[in-house]
Structure 1
Amino acid sequence: MSNEYFPDSDEQINDDEEWVSKTQRKREVEAQQELGAKITLLNKEQVEQVPMSDELRAAIAEAARLQPRSEAIRRHLQYIGRIMRNEDTEAIEAALDRFEAGKQAHAQIFKKLERWRDRLILGDNSDLQAYLNEDGGADIQHLRQLLRNAKKEQAQEKPPVAARKLFKYLRERAESQLQL
């Protein structure tokens, strides 16, 4: 006895390739909502760089107006997830990946500058010379003054005001080199 709901073992179901489980569909919907939520965390300049429809852009702008951690924002993120079904998610993910890569590069530069600051304060003239070899445009007199103040401050166990000024100078030098 053959039933239309339970095919005989001899019959082949041709829809196997197109069939998607309910769980898989839920995962895809949640992934789209998460992607939409990531977009809402971007600043205005970054949002403008993300390729999206006007409808999604308006929904993202509306999300910025809502209170964080409220029921309204949760529902709005679900709405954004529904809009995301019609968007080019690969292009959006690529844009978000570019922003993340830039953030990681910035963090690496920041850590490098922190290491230079600590090395210069704890080191001697050879460390200063190594930094000057790397950054030939640095103001040597100003850098020596900042180092003297930071070392003096460290010896007297004062708050690291001069060390912060030294770091600020190193950061400004790194930014000026990146702009060249």
Structure 2
Amino acid sequence: MEDFLERIQLVQRKQIKLPVDKSEFIKAFRQNVDEGEIGMFSGMFEAFTTSKNRFKGNISNNDFEIRRRKVLFQRNQLFARIKGTFRQQADHVVVDLTINGFSKMIIPFYVLTIAFYIFFITTISNGLELLSPFFLFMVIHAILMFAIPYFVMRRSVKSTAADIEKELFFMTREKSGMY
């Protein structure tokens, strides 16, 4: 499943090298990420909090799992999750990231949508020809109903990948005094 999601660009892997010590990186990372659960219903009132941090999640000594904070009145909410591990390599920290934009909540949507289209087309199509305008409209509508969530998730992965790379880079520059 993970390979399939990676091929359709709903999962992206990255490796980032940062010129900072691992302990300093963990300290800076924890200052810029709010501790908390990142489950499906854990952030219901998260948009009403007043935190300056852009990410929320859990960080341990060797790995982390975070996601972007929900912000009030932000139109393009990004729901991709970032799992990662970090290790010291010489004088650098190597961060291996997996950005996952696929949510298991989309599976019931796709199953119900398929069931709806099968039911609707079979009940209505008794007296219609295969190439009637109604049938063509339903096919185009079905394609849009499946494609729009896919492209939203894919855009979320790309945007989150760019954001986390920038955040980690600037977080370490600020900490090491290179600013």
Does the TM-score normalized on the shorter chain lie above 0.5?
no
Q: Which protein is bigger by CA-based radius of gyration?
A: 1
Q: TM-score, normalised by structure 1?
A: 0.28
TM-score (norm 2): 0.28
- Return the structure number with greater relative CO, CA threshold 8 A, min gap 6: 2
Flag the structure with higher strand content. 2
Which is helix-richer, 1 or 2? 1
